[in-house]
Amino acid sequence: MAKHRAELLVNLVIALALPAAALTAWALGESFYVSLVSRVAILALAGVGLNLALGYGGMVSFGHAAFFGLGAYAAGIFAFHAFDGTPVISWPIQIMGAASMPVGWLAAIVVAGLAALAIGAISLRTSGVYFIMITLAFAQMLYYLAVSIPTYGGADGLILYLRSGFPGLDSSDDLTFFALCYALLMLAIFITWRIAGSRFGMALRGASRNEERLAAVGISPYPIKLVAFCISAMITAVAGALFAELVGFVSPTLMAWKMSGEILIFVILGGVGRLYAPIIGAAIFILLETLIGGITDRWQFVLGLVLLGVVLFARGGVMGALTGRARHV
């Protein structure tokens, strides 16, 4: 029970650390650091998405960058057409572009959900190391498509001239934008928590541990995993849509395999299957990148050593070190 309370405390600290950091930076007039904290929140959100598949469903997806990128493109394309005054699609029904964040998020969710359904349907027929490599290969396929198809800029990417609006709020204000990202992050964590505690969540964990036993009680693991995979992809896609609004730019590199690796790192660094872990993971990653990157061009070397050290000697990630081994995985 003490362990449980420790985790609650750590979670609370993590949850409050982000707004505290953002407000401090804002009070000091350092708008760069406000957007840096927004970046952490967004990447953490991508990690929360992956964590649902990975931490609760045992699906090691090495292709979540595809959903991150698809989400970014979905939001970007809607904003692009709004600026252009042209429809996104004109057949079978006409859908006009819209420079509105909720529309972008919805588009991201729909597109990523459909993509995850297709990718998941094939990939989930396999398991273990096959699943890792197949998700990687599918993401790579989407990356090459994004690079080579000229309509939305290809490798050059797509510029969003203005940040899309949010009804009733000034989304171009850095602090307001952070608040939006943070709210979505907390919402996603809440959703994950609800799923984990539901009958569906129990079945999902059962599927990740012992498929045969689950099948024996009359539950087929495949549809459960597929649904979880799709929800996971949708959350990561919303992160992608926010990322597009943050940087004002979408490009295929968001789908590159290194991005998939980084989203995995956020989760593992924090602690697989822990609700709040992706926030710690993303924060540490961004901190390392910013700090070491300011000191040496060889920052990737140092980053590699740090990550290797974490895997070899600090199993369970930071959360594991703070509160003991995870209960799920």
Partner 1 sequence: MSAALIIEQVLNGFQLGVMLFLMAAGLTLAFGVMGLINLAHGSLYMTGAFVCAWVANATGSFWTGLALGLLASAAAGAIIEILVMRRLYDRDHLDQVLATFSLILIFAEGAHWLFGSRPLYLNIPDLLDGAIALPGGGGYPVYRLAVIGVGLVVAIGLFLLITRTRLGMRIRAGESDREMIGALGVNIRTLYTLVFALGAMLAGLAGVLVGASQSVQVGMGEPVLILAFVVIVIGGIGSIKGALVASVLVGLVDTLGRAFAPSLLALALPVQAAASVGASVASILIYLLMAVVLAFRPQGLFPTHG
Partner 2 sequence: MHFTKRLIGLMTGSVLLAGMAASAAQAQDDPVKIGMITTLSGGGSSLGIDIRDGFMLAVNANDGKLGGKDVDVLIEDDSRRPDKANQIADKFIQRDEVDILTGIVWSNLALAVVPKAVRDGVFYVSPNAGPSELAGRMCHENYFNVAYQNDNQHEAMGEGFNAEGFESAFLLAPNYPAGRDAIAGFKRFYEGEIAGEIFTQLGQQDYAAEIAAIRASDADSVFIFLPGGMGIAFVKQYDQAQLGLPLRGPGFSFSQDVLPAMGEAALGARNAAQWSPDLDNPANQEFVAAFEQAYGRLPSVYASQAYDAAHLIGSALEQASPDDADAFRAALEEADFDSVRGDFEFGSNHHPIQDFYLREVVEVDGVYTNRIDRKVFDDHQDAYVDECSM
CB of residue 88 vs partner 1: minimum separation in angstroms? 21
Task: Give 59 or 72: the residue with its C-beta nearer to partner 2.
Answer: 72
Spatial neighbors of 320 by CB under 8 A, at least 6 apart, are 271, 274, 314, 326
Find the Cα–Cα–Cα–Cα dihedral 279, 285, 286, 291, rounded to 10°: 140
Partner whose binding site includes residue 159, from partner 2, partner 1, none (CB under 5 to 8 Å by kind): partner 2
Closest to partner 1 by CB, 121 or 183 = 121
Q: Quick check: 288 binds partner 1 (CB under 8 A)?
A: no
Binding residues vs partner 2 (CB under 8 A):
30-33, 35-36, 39, 144, 147-148, 150, 153-157, 159, 161, 243, 247-249, 251, 253-254, 290, 293-294, 297-300
Question: Candidates 63-71, 77-85, 225-233, 310-318 — which segment interacts with partner 1 by CB under 8 A?
Answer: 310-318
User: Between residue 237 and residue 256, which ones bind partner 1 under the rule CB under 8 A?
Assistant: none
Whether 235 and 188 have beta carbons less than 8 Å apart is answered as yes
Q: Which does 253 bind (CB under 5 to 8 A by kind): partner 2, partner 1, none?
A: partner 2
Q: Does 137 bind partner 1 (CB under 8 A)?
A: yes
Contact, 233 vs 52, CB < 8 A?
no
Picked from partner 2, partner 1, none, the partner binding residue 315 (CB below 5 to 8 A depending on kind) is partner 1
Token pair 């907390």 is found at: 186
The two structure tokens encoding residue 153: 């800029």
In the range 171-230, which residues lie near partner 1 by CB under 8 A? none
126 binds partner 1 (CB under 8 A): yes
Give me the least distance between CB of 176 and partner 1, in Å please: 35
Tokens of 190: 């809440």
The continuous run of DSSP H or E covering 109 comes out as: helix 101-123
Of all residues in the chain, what percent are helix, strand and coil, respectively (each to 5)?
75, 5, 20
Among positions 31, 84, 130, 287, the unique one binding partner 1 when judged by CB under 8 A: 130
Residue 69 CB partners (closer than 8 Å, separation 6+): 142, 143, 146, 240, 250, 252, 254, 255, 259
Residues 65-124 that bind partner 1 (CB under 8 A): 122-123
CA atoms within 13 A on the CB side of 240: 37
The span from the CA of 76 to the CA of 62, in Å, is 24
| Site residues for partner 1 per CB under 8 A | 54, 60, 62, 122-123, 125-126, 128-130, 132-134, 136-138, 140-141, 144-145, 148-150, 257, 261, 264-265, 268, 272, 298, 300-301, 303-305, 307-308, 310-312, 315
